[in-house]
Structures are given as C-alpha cells and as structure tokens.
Amino acid sequence: MQGAGELAGLDALRKPGPLVLVPTMGALHEGHLSLVEQGAALGTVVVTIFVNPTQFGPGEDFAAYPRDLASDLALLEGTSAAAVFAPAVADMYGPPGEVTVRAGRRAEGLCGASRPGHFDGVLTVVAKLFGMVRPDIAIFGRKDAQQCLVIEQMVHDLRLPVRLVDAPTVREPDGLAMSSRNRYLDTAQRGRATCLSRALARGRALLGEGVRERGVIEAAMTGELAASDSVDYAALARAAGTGGAHPGAGRPCGPGHCGKGGAGPPDRQCGPGNRGPWSGRNEPAGRGCPRRRLTGSGYTWKVASAKHVSSTRSFLTPWFLPPARARG
C-alpha cells in the first residue's frame, strides 16, 4: 500500500459514488472482509483499524486484545478496500474531560448491564470516525445487535448525514460466529462454544413455529447452553423503532449473545420476519437517517482471556491501495 499524506487525502476518493466506511478494531477475519465486499458494491471503501480504549472497562481485555496491523494490511490488499485509516489513541482522544457521547436508553440492559459505559465509548469513537472520514455510508455487522441499535439512535438523534447498512454474520463451518476474540479460546473452549449457535438456532426455530412466550424461548436457549459453564445470561429482546431495546417491548427478535467483560465472541440472529438492521445493500445509495429499525437480543458468556503476542503501530495517515486492487 502507498502512503497518502494527511487524512484530507481521503477527499480524493470522493468520486461520483459514495464513500463507504467499514470500522474495525483490527485482528481481521473473513467476517470483516465480507463487510468490505458488501461496501464495495455501494461505493469506495475506507477501512478503519482502531482498538478503542473507551469501550473497554476495568478488568476487560484492552491490553490483551489481538493486534497485528501488518497482517491486517496484507489481508486488505486482497480486497476491494481503497484505503485504510489506523489512527493512534492520541489522534482520536485529547486530555480527559473532552466531549463524549452518552448512549442513553438503548444501552440499558442486555450487554449494557454487563459492560457499563461500553456503549458510551462505542458511540464516542464512531462519532469521531464519522467526523474524520465523513462517509456517506457506514457498514456494521449484524452480530452486535445492541451496538447497532445505539448507533442507529445516535445517527437519528444527532441528525448525522450517514446511511447505515447492516451485514450478516459470517460463521465457521460448525456454526460459531467469526470473531477476533475466538483466538482466545483453547481447544476445549472452542468445542463448547458451538452451543451458542445451537441456542440461537433453537430460539429462531421456536419463533418460526409461532412461539412468542419469552420464558419458553429463553428456557429452550438455556437448555442448549448447558454444555458451557460460563454463560452469563440468555434473553429474548424486542426493539420498538428508535427508542430502546427492552425485553418484551416492540417487535419480536431472535436470540443472541454478547461478550461479557469484553472477552466473549458476540453473536446474534434475527427472528423470522425481521430482516435485520437498517437498510439493505439492494437499496439506493445516499445520505439520510435509517428507515428500518434493528431488532436485537443477547445472551452473554465468559471465557478466559489471552495476552496478545504482538504489538501494533498506529498511524494518522491512511494507506491507499493500488487502483487495480481497489477495484477488485
């Protein structure tokens, strides 16, 4: 990849089509690469790589979070990404006391209860990335459903000129959702982790059969999770448009889970009849607040963390891929 001077160099990518942001924390896998390819169908893709400290709480895995920027860049060179932006913490945050974003009601309960302050950090860094990259479109994975809800709320409430697009969860052959944190798992934990996708499938099947009693679905999910002794909670949630995700309110959604303490690979499935978050890739590109409403839910489990084995470099300057590769 080639250097491109200042961040303003991204303006050169603002061609007739939209600029598409794919935000990541690095440690890329096929799930991330699928976001890039979905974005490439909509416009020119800029990938950001930044392990955001403000979304990690005390005792979570910020220091251990896997970092391998060189490998990430090598992976992206084989995709349709046009540029990569990997800022340092000092580029993103000033001294303590600067303006931050509060997630509000949609961050209450579910993963928000397990990770207080997490979604405030997520929204703050996403708002900063929106301001720095100025994308027309931003793509987020459907796997992190509550995160998608709070981002949707921020875009709506702050009237941000960004169109939000969802991407489906990419899974391993045995059903486990791809996640950067999967590398924390040893062989035994990796085997037990497949109970997560089985629980999701069980809950989704019950929804497809017309079951709407939360207790029945949650009990069935919990039964599938008996293979693991580290499950924090199992829950079925409903989302009611722009305004909050709460158990038993609004439209039904399938089961899912999020990682407790920042150490569990997150996972979600939307129930039958719920297409998922926001707008789809077949809708016309353009700016504007999202019109579709995400439905989400979660159960959480806990796994052991592992120390990262490589350090990372961070750069304010984006890398630009050669045009031929950028076009795929």
- Say how far apart CA 257 and CA 267 lie, in whole Å: 5
Q: Across 123-137, 164-178, 295-309, which has the greatest mean pLDDT?
A: 123-137
Predicted confidence (pLDDT) per residue in 221-269, tens digit: 888 888 776 666 677 777 554 344 444 333 334 444 444 434 454 555 4
pLDDT (average), residues 48-52? 95
Please give the mean pLDDT across all residues of the chain.
74
| Boundaries of every domain in the chain | 2-326
Predicted confidence (pLDDT) per residue in 75-116, tens digit: 999 899 999 999 889 889 988 778 999 999 889 888 898 899
Backbone angles phi, psi at 211, to 5 degrees: -70, 130
124-159 in b/e burial notation, b at 16+ Cβ within 10 A? bbbbbbbebbbbbbbbbbbbbbbbbbbbbbbbbeee
pLDDT (average), residues 154-164? 96
- Say how far apart CA 258 and CA 297 lie, in whole Å: 9
Among 122-136, 141-155, 164-178, 305-319, where is mean pLDDT lowest?
305-319
288-299 in b/e burial notation, b at 16+ Cβ within 10 A? ebbebbbbbbbb
Backbone angles phi, psi at 317, to 5 degrees: -80, 130
pLDDT confidence of residue 232: 67
- The helix (H) or strand (E) run that includes residue 139 is strand 137-141
- Residue of 75, 65, 86 whose CA lies nearest to 34: 75
| Domain 2-326: assigned CATH number | 3.40.50.620
User: Which sequence positions are flagged as catalytic?
Assistant: 32
Per the CB < 8 A criterion, the answer to whether 225 and 234 are in contact is yes
Residue with tokens 């690979």: 265
pLDDT confidence of residue 264: 52
pLDDT confidence of residue 216: 92
- The helix (H) or strand (E) run that includes residue 58 is none
Backbone angles phi, psi at 44, to 5 degrees: -90, 125
pLDDT confidence of residue 119: 96
Predicted confidence (pLDDT) per residue in 273-303, tens digit: 333 334 433 333 333 333 333 233 332 222 2
Percent of the chain with pLDDT over 90: 40
- Say how far apart CA 140 and CA 295 lie, in whole Å: 14
DSSP state of 184: G
Burial of 314 (0-12, 13-18, 19+ CB in 10 A): middle
- The helix (H) or strand (E) run that includes residue 202 is helix 195-208
